Amino acid sequence: MSSCSERVIRRRLALHVALAALLAPVGRVHAQAAQDDWSGLTDAQRAVLAPFRTQWNEWSAEERSIWLRLADQFPEFDEARREQAFSRIREWARLTPAQREVARHNFRLARSLNRDARAREWERYNSMTPEQRSVLRAHPLFGNAVMPSQSSQPLSVMPQRR
């Protein structure tokens, strides 16, 4: 594989890792709350998860638990992180179930890299200028990784590094 193709794939992966970091499960277990329907959530959880109101009762306990952890962390975020998280929540709410499954596949693919490789790719992405990032997002091969609705296109399998 050419060096250019590897760079493209690594950049695409870095964008998916960024999304994965936001959606990664963290915090305490919400087993009981995840079993509850929408009306069982706290006012604060409902405020954060409002875009999911019409879909919530149809989701699995596992999916609910992931979003409940994010909702519970939300007050700890600074304003910029809250804006970003809420934007991603709205984007995720607009995805069809099939698009969500593809996005989850892409997440698992990104997570298949070891921690050091993900960190290197994220560092490379962060070292890009805003103009380079703009070009990257607009590129048809890997521009779908910017937002959840755009990451609903499958990634190809990552090549093994030598």
In tens, the pLDDT along 36-59 reads: 789 999 999 999 999 999 999 998
What span, in angstroms and rounded, lies between the C-alpha atoms of 59 and 101?
Answer: 13
Tokens linked to 24:
């990664």
What span, in angstroms and rounded, lies between the C-alpha atoms of 6 and 161?
Answer: 9
pLDDT tens by residue, 74-122 = 999 999 999 999 999 999 999 888 888 888 887 887 888 888 888 888 8
pTM: 0.54
Tokens linked to 25:
């499960």
What span, in angstroms and rounded, lies between the C-alpha atoms of 110 and 142?
Answer: 13
What span, in angstroms and rounded, lies between the C-alpha atoms of 37 and 59?
Answer: 9
User: b/e string for 83-107 if b means 16 or more Cβ within 10 A?
Assistant: eebbebbebbbebeeebbebbeebb
What is the reported pLDDT for 140? 56
